[in-house]
Amino acid sequence: MPVDILVGTQWGDEGKGKLIDVLTRDCDMVVRFQGGNNAGHTVEIGSDKFVLHLVPSGIFRPGVACIIGNGVVVDPVALTAEMRDLEKSGLDVSAIELSDKAQLIFDYHRQIDGLKEAAAGTGKKIGTTKRGIGPAYSDKADRCGIRGWMLKKPAELEKAFREQAAKYNDIFVARGVEPIDIDAAWAKVADAAAYLTPRVTDTVVSVNNAIRAGKKILCEGAQGMLLDIDHGTYPFVTSSNTISGGACTGAGIAPTHIRDIWGVLKAYSTRVGEGPFPTELFDADGEKLRQIGHEFGATTGRPRRCGWFDAVASGYSCMVNGVNKLAVTKVDVLDQMPEIKICTAYELDGEILHSVPSSADDLARVKPVYETVPGWMQDTTGCTCYKDLPENTKKYLDRLAKLVNSTVAIVSVGPKREQTFSAE
């Protein structure tokens, strides 16, 4: 069976983009299946650094088909800008296909996203990326969203866009804020529609034809399991199913075709935006992780909150995702830590917990139970194979794998393609 799925096992930014780029060396097709341009997937090739938001991270491998599936919410203006930028860098974007069922994001979604955040009281703000993701998925569920196929029918698109925009403008006016300039917004959408039209297809057919032809397909998750709308730290989550199962609905792939589930696991924890984060560090160690790990958002530039590895949250995540192959990233960021802590359980009101409480309020109150392991205090960035790693690094990786009940298959010790090797 040729379909593998790669997902983030924490709160996003685990290094999925880098891993997709590495793994597509042996792939024919990469498929994004959820999220939108809230994602920021970094790929470093030589001295070039690219941050992808909607374009699948397989784009740097010539001949690899790049699919933006039906489960993705697509801002057509943002996608057009991203593709034009890639073209300017000399990349061929003709292998990109955009699902005719993908939901489209427009200016009014972004504006309402920002307004809701601004209006949210203390403790209610989610800290969204303000890309209109939640409102676009709301319109989808409310059955008033506009889908990809309309990009090919400008007259119908314009009518639907103007109707929806007018509806949202009524809300803006009622709230005393500036309505969007519908004519100006339409001009940008019309330009994007003209650019994207040749790329719009029934991607479910493309993907399933590739499966039948025995092609090797990799599905690219965005965000991370703990931001999943059902299984994450609700309501401090994104608005899609980020787990591996989301690939079936978001790309139109039957579960019987799935082979491996890759879980990308950062060697410590980070989170951007609001919401509970049991192992968050507010001390010098947290700042050290942020500085050495360059933990600043790839989409919004916000500093990422940093903390120790949380085996309760990540173990829960690996279970729900069914991760059978771990890619452990950013191991090098721990190189200068004399001691490393791992959260192995939570304590809540005197009780020891081994799974993640469903109430965000309870999760915010848990105290992490830590075990402390010795660091390795050696530079791992030059390691090129597993046996090069210091003994304490290997022990740390073994411990993480045991705690999350999975197997380390790949280790990453830097942002470059070459700084990646098999754990065998």
Among all residues, which ones are annotated catalytic? 13, 41
- Report yes or no: 326 and 409 within 8 Å, Cβ to Cβ: yes
Tell me: does residue 127 bind ligand IMO (CB under 6 A): yes
Q: Which of 129, 344, 393, 419 binds ligand IMO (CB under 6 A)?
A: 129
| Nearest distance from C-beta of residue 29 to ligand IMO, angstroms | 19
Count of residues touching ligand IMO (by CB under 6 A): 24
Tell me: does residue 126 bind ligand IMO (CB under 6 A): yes
Structure tokens at 407: 């197997």
| Nearest distance from C-beta of residue 370 to ligand IMO, angstroms | 24
DSSP 384: -
Tell me: does residue 134 bind ligand IMO (CB under 6 A): yes
Q: Which of 4, 21, 24, 41 binds ligand GDP (CB under 6 A)?
A: 41
The stretch among 6-14, 317-325, 331-339, 355-363 that binds ligand IMO (CB under 6 A) is 6-14
Find which of ligand IMO, ligand GDP, Mg ion, none residue 53 binds, CB within 5 to 8 Å per kind. Answer: none
Tell me: does residue 24 bind ligand GDP (CB under 6 A): no
**DSSP H helical ranges for 275-409:** 284-292, 311-321, 360-365, 391-404
Comparing CB distances to ligand GDP, the nearer of 18 and 109 is 18
Structure tokens at 147: 């889908």
Tell me: does residue 16 bind ligand GDP (CB under 6 A): yes
Selection from 76, 35, 134, 237 nearest residue 16 by Cα: 35
d(CA 180, CA 173): 10
Contact set for ligand IMO, span 11-30 (CB under 6 A): 11-13
Contact set for ligand IMO, span 179-238 (CB under 6 A): 222-224, 227, 238
Tell me: does residue 100 bind ligand GDP (CB under 6 A): no
Find which of Mg ion, ligand GDP, ligand IMO, none residue 212 binds, CB within 5 to 8 Å per kind. Answer: none
Structure tokens at 105: 């994001």
The set of residues, in sequence order, having a beta carbon less than 8 Å from that of 12 and lying 6+ positions away, is 39, 222, 223, 224, 227, 271, 272
The set of residues, in sequence order, having a beta carbon less than 8 Å from that of 367 and lying 6+ positions away, is 278, 346, 347, 348
d(CA 71, CA 101): 8
Find which of ligand GDP, ligand IMO, Mg ion, none residue 251 binds, CB within 5 to 8 Å per kind. Answer: none
Tell me: does residue 13 bind ligand GDP (CB under 6 A): yes
Strands (E) in 28-89, as ranges, are: 29-32, 41-45, 48-52, 65-68, 73-74
Peptide bond into 235 cis (omega under 30): yes
Chain residues binding Mg ion by CB under 5 A are 13, 40, 298
Give the per-residue contact string, 303-342, with ligand GDP (x = CB under 6 A; - = no).
Answer: --------------------------xx-xx---------
Tell me: does residue 18 bind ligand GDP (CB under 6 A): yes
Comparing CB distances to ligand GDP, the nearer of 250 and 414 is 414
Q: What angle do CA 282, 287, 288 make, to 5 degrees?
A: 135
Please list the residues that pair with 4 across neighbouring strands: 218
Count the Cβ atoms, other than its own, within 10 Å of residue 20. Answer: 28
- Report yes or no: 104 and 146 within 8 Å, Cβ to Cβ: yes
| Nearest distance from C-beta of residue 336 to ligand GDP, angstroms | 12
Q: Which of 24, 38, 279, 329 binds ligand IMO (CB under 6 A)?
A: 38
Tell me: does residue 15 bind ligand GDP (CB under 6 A): yes
Q: Which residue has the tokens 């046996």?
A: 387
- Counting Cβ atoms within 10 Å, is residue 184 exposed (0-12), middle (13-18) or buried (19+)? exposed
Positions in the binding site for ligand IMO (CB under 6 A): 8, 11-13, 38-41, 126-129, 131, 133-134, 222-224, 227, 238-239, 272-273, 298
